Amino acid sequence: MRELVISKYEAGQRFDKFLAKYMELAPKSFFYKMMRKKNITLNGKKAAGNEKLEKGDTVKLFLSEETIEGFREKKKRAVHTGAKLDILYEDEQVMLINKPAGMLSQKAEKGDISMVEHLISHLLDTGEVTEEMLKTFRPSLCNRLDRNTSGIVAAGKTLQGLQMLSGLFKERTLHKYYLCIVKGVIKEEQDVRGWLLKNEKTNQVRIFKNETKDARPIHTKYRPLADNGQETLLEIELLTGRTHQIRAHLSYMGHPIFGDPKYGDAVLNKKLTSGYGLHMQLLHAWHLVFPELSSDFEGLSGKSIYAPAPKQFVSIAQKRGLGTWEHGIPEV
């Protein structure tokens, strides 16, 4: 017999889904049969499988060790990356991290090391999770930033935290703001809409003014913070989160982002590379505003989180006379 106690990280999921993660190689019919025969129990009682697990629940597997281990997939241990995370906010359930440009949010290929791997490595190093816990729940991110976009990524340390954050992003009740430097002068706030069509083969998008077949609607707001007569520091509120939306939409409007290799101004980018050594787009997810939340997440309820911009971003902005900055945050 093996006894398992549900941790805060695993709480919130259905019992049958937990079992399927714990013994990945077993067919679903096996679990239901064992529950009917009370060879698998929840809190000492017969279970149906649709119960929602809570922290402290006890699961008993009246099975031989050979049977249990035979149904468990032999996974590689998590990678200890040793990276130091720039943590902006953390509680028992969630973590908000300032992702540097150049780092993947999530794996693109099997061998990649992304922010998710750095997150799990950090939680292992601090002892908050163990390799055994990772078999039934893996902390993860709820939003993605392009590799060369810096700024706030939101991570669920527990399943409940992950579900809460994912719900906010899906329902668009979480307000997301970005900073960028663009070519040209924008003097007035703008509320713009359009249609975005993605080419899956090239991973590039096109913007259209009117509805177009297979294109998806986009909605963005821009607010100028400073300009020098040739370029503008913008704050962007992202109201729909499509692939490359900000980058492509600004380029379509005649205001490409500094350093953008896909949608930017090639001549300008060459000058920025030679003058500043810039090899990334100057786009930074700098501000999140949370709605009112339940008591389980009172630490984030109504809270504003800011992420300092990268040093190179701030340096270029200051040298080109784009606003006053303090500790990586523009004074607005």
Catalytic positions, please?
A: 146
Q: Which residues of 155-190 are buried (b: 16+ CB within 10 A; e: fewer)?
A: bbbbbbbbebbbebeeeeebebbbbbbbbeebeeee
H/E element holding 318?
helix 311-319
Which two tokens mark 194? 């359009």
Q: What is the distance between the alpha carbons of residues 48 and 41, in angstroms, rounded to a whole number?
A: 9
> Which backbone phi and psi does 48 adopt, to 5 degrees?
-100, -25
Q: How far is CA 82 from CA 85, 120, 122, 126, 315, in A?
A: 9, 11, 8, 11, 28
50 CB contacts (<8 Å, ≥6 apart)? 14, 15, 16
Number of C-alpha atoms within 13 angstroms, CB side, residue 244? Answer: 23
126: closest CA among 157, 166, 155? 157
Instruction: Name the 3-class secondary structure at 93.
Output: coil
